[in-house]
A and B are shown apart, each in its own frame.
Chain A
Amino acid sequence: MSLPPPELHPGEAAALAARTAARAADEGVAQIAYAFVDSPVGRLVAVATPHGVARIAYELENGGLDSILDDVALKLSPAIVEAPARLERVRRELDEYFDGRRRDFDVPLDWALTASGFRRRVLQECAQIPFGATSTYKAMAVAAGSPRAFRAAGGALGSNPIPIVVPCHRVLASDGRLGGYTGGLERKRLLLSIEGGMLPV
Chain B
Amino acid sequence: MPRENPPTARLPPFQRFLDAHRDDVLRFLIASLGRHDADDAFQETFMSALRAYPRLRPDSNLRGWVLTIAHRKALDVHRARGRNPVPVAQIHERAAGSATSAADGDPPDHWQRVRALPTRQREVLTLRYAADLTHAEIARALGCSEEAARRAAADGLKTLRKELRDVPATA
Partner-B contacts on A (CB < 8 A): 1, 3-9, 12-14, 16-17, 19-21, 23-24, 27, 29-30, 34, 66, 69-74, 77-82
Q: Cβ of A82 and Cβ of B15 under 8 Å apart?
A: yes
List residues of chain B with CB within 8 A of the CB of A6: 27, 30-31, 109, 111, 130
Contact of A78 among B14, B31, B164 (CB under 8 A): B14
Q: Cβ of A29 and Cβ of B26 under 8 Å apart?
A: no
Cα–Cα, bound, A82→B46 (Å): 14
Cα–Cα, bound, A79→B48 (Å): 12
Q: Cβ of B50 and Cβ of A69 under 8 Å apart?
A: no
Not counting A3-B129, A5-B27, A73-B13, a sample of 17 additional A-B residue pairs whose C-beta atoms are within 8 angstroms of each other reads A4-B129, A6-B30, A6-B31, A9-B104, A14-B22, A16-B42, A17-B46, A20-B46, A20-B47, A24-B47, A72-B13, A73-B12, A77-B54, A78-B13, A78-B54, A79-B50, A82-B15
Q: Cβ of B27 and Cβ of A79 under 8 Å apart?
A: no
| B10 sits at the interface (CB 8 A) | yes
Q: Cβ of A29 and Cβ of B31 under 8 Å apart?
A: no
| B51 sits at the interface (CB 8 A) | yes
**Total A-B pairs in contact (CB under 8 Å)?**
104
A109 CB, nearest partner CB in chain B, Å: 20
List residues of chain A with CB within 8 A of the CB of B13: 69-70, 72-73, 78, 80
Bitwise interface map of B from 104 to 136 toward A, beta carbon under 8 Å scored 1, else 0: 101001110010000000000100011110000
Q: Cβ of A21 and Cβ of B39 under 8 Å apart?
A: no
* Residue of chain B at shortest CB distance from A3: B129
* The 9 residue pairs across chains A and B that have the minimum distance between CB atoms: A3-B129, A80-B13, A69-B13, A6-B30, A78-B11, A17-B22, A13-B22, A5-B130, A13-B26
Partner-A contacts on B (CB < 8 A): 1, 3, 7, 10-16, 18-19, 22-23, 25-27, 30-31, 39, 42-43, 46-47, 50-51, 53-54, 104, 106, 109-111, 114, 125, 129-132, 157, 160-161, 164
A85 CB, nearest partner CB in chain B, Å: 15
Cα–Cα, bound, A187→B111 (Å): 56
Cα–Cα, bound, A72→B10 (Å): 12
Known A3-B125, A5-B31, A6-B111: A21·B15 in contact at CB below 8 Å: yes
B166 CB, nearest partner CB in chain A, Å: 14
List residues of chain A with CB within 8 A of the CB of B132: 5
Q: Cβ of B46 and Cβ of A24 under 8 Å apart?
A: yes
A139 CB, nearest partner CB in chain B, Å: 27
Q: Cβ of B22 and Cβ of A69 under 8 Å apart?
A: no
> Could you list 7 examples of A-B contacts with CB < 8 Å?
A3-B111, A3-B157, A5-B31, A29-B51, A70-B10, A74-B3, A81-B15
A155 CB, nearest partner CB in chain B, Å: 13
Q: Cβ of A17 and Cβ of B51 under 8 Å apart?
A: no
* Residue of chain B at shortest CB distance from A29: B50
* Residue of chain B at shortest CB distance from A24: B50
Cα–Cα, bound, A13→B30 (Å): 11
